[in-house]
């Protein structure tokens, strides 16, 4: 297999510092102390590909868009070009993919988010060459991504056919203001495998009972780290405040300690006992790793976890997923967990 491999090195940088994306916000993200996320995820994928995909020939782009990471993982890659400047751009991604096509790759794999997926799909439009994403962005709404970096290797090693899937993206400025309007950017050919994520869907069902039951049972002195989304948003309202709909808010004893908080702000607000409250993403099942990177491994390890959801959402997703950037933590989180689905009711769900 000839595999084209390209990395968007700035994808996901804005997540943990509360920017909900990196489009047009790279310098602000760096000023807030953000560090690159996608290189580590690229390296995890490359290590798995080296182990699980026999006879792969890696075709890539110059550092920091793949060549350096490929060599670190033990590959001797074909490097077809370099980024045009010190700061990589979408045009660099498109140039790399165009070169991959000229070099006759069988699959294009990329590390990034929905914006990167749209750039790759734009170049591949009208060809039969499939694409496969390694999730590295803050918002990952498209169904062209593997569930985790390691799962990319399993899909590449086992697929026998491809299918058409959606590339979705949202306006990050609207997203920061609390408005989510996913737009279909492209339809792309993707290798078929069990470890692909679905497009994000909107949850349905009455969440008021969930919110009321939760609010009735809050404990004094406990710090609640309330994640994004409409279900947890109903809990924020039941607690008596208007939260950030797509951000993380921290609340204790009737006081909002941090609103739309970054990872650092969450860590500063934690107390002796802490509880993260999250709801799975509809259609995908992720409770960590999509849309809430502020809930980092450092935060999660200091908290208990409460998952809330409507019954309809759980019926739709079937299982829960995690992708925290820390494989050891992901392994610790996997297993059965109790999900609040009503005022008093709960349901056991497996985290895979």
Parts of the chain with a pLDDT under 50: 176, 201-205
The pLDDT assigned to 259 comes to 95
The pLDDT assigned to 9 comes to 92
The pLDDT assigned to 299 comes to 97
Count of H helices and E strands in the chain?
A: 13, 16
Task: Say whether 208-351 and 2-191 share the same fold.
Answer: yes
List the chain domain ranges: 2-191, 208-351
- The total of other beta-carbon atoms located within 10 Å of residue 45's CB is 28
Give the domain 208-351 fold. Answer: Rossmann fold (3.40.50)
The pLDDT assigned to 4 comes to 98
Q: Per CATH, the architecture of 2-191 is what?
A: 3-Layer(aba) Sandwich (3.40)
Question: Cα(143)–Cα(190) distance, rounded to whole angstroms?
Answer: 9
The pLDDT assigned to 202 comes to 42
pTM for this entry: 0.65
The pLDDT assigned to 322 comes to 96
In Å, what is the CA distance from 51 to each residue of 47, 60, 78, 271, 328? 6, 18, 19, 42, 19
Structure-block tokens of residue 88? 């990589």
> Could you tell me which of 179, 197, 230, 46 has the C-alpha nearest to residue 114?
197
């Amino acid at each position: 297999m000839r595999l084209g491999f390209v990395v968007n090195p700035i994808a996901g940088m804005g997540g943990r510092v509360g920017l909900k994306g990196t489009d047009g916000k790279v310098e602000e993200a760096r000023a807030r102390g953000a560090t690159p996320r996608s290189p580590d995820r690229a390296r995890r994928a490359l290590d798995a590909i080296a182990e699980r995909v026999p006879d792969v020939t890696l075709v890539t782009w110059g550092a920091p868009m793949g060549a350096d990471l490929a060599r670190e993982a033990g590959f001797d890659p074909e490097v077809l070009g370099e980024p045009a400047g010190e700061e990589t751009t979408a045009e660099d991604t498109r140039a790399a993919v165009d070169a991959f096509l000229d070099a006759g790759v069988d699959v294009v794999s990329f590390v990034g988010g929905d914006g990167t997926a749209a750039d790759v799909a734009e170049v591949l439009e009208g060809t039969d060459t499939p694409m496969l994403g390694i999730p590295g962005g803050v918002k990952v709404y498209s169904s062209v991504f593997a569930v985790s970096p390691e799962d990319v290797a399993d899909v590449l090693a086992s697929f026998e056919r491809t299918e058409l899937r959606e590339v979705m993206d949202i306006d990050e400025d609207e997203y920061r203001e609390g408005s989510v309007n996913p737009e279909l950017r492209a339809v792309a050919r993707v290798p078929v495998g069990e470890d692909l994520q679905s497009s994000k869907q909107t949850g349905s069902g009455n969440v008021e009972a969930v919110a009321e039951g939760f609010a009735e049972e809050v404990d004094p002195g406990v710090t609640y780290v309330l994640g994004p989304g409409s279900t947890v948003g109903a809990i924020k309202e039941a607690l008596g405040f208007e939260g950030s709909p797509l951000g993380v808010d921290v609340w204790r004893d009737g006081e909002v300690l941090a609103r739309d908080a970054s990872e650092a702000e969450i860590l500063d607000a934690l107390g002796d006992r802490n509880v993260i409250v999250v709801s799975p993403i509809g259609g995908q099942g992720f409770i960590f790793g999509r849309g809430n990177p502020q809930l980092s491994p450092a935060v999660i390890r200091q908290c208990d976890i409460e998952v809330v959801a409507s019954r309809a959402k759980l019926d739709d997703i079937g299982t829960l997923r995690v992708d925290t950037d820390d494989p050891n933590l992901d392994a610790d989180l996997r297993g059965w967990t109790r999900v609040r689905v009503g005022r008093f009711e709960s349901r056991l769900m497996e985290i895979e």
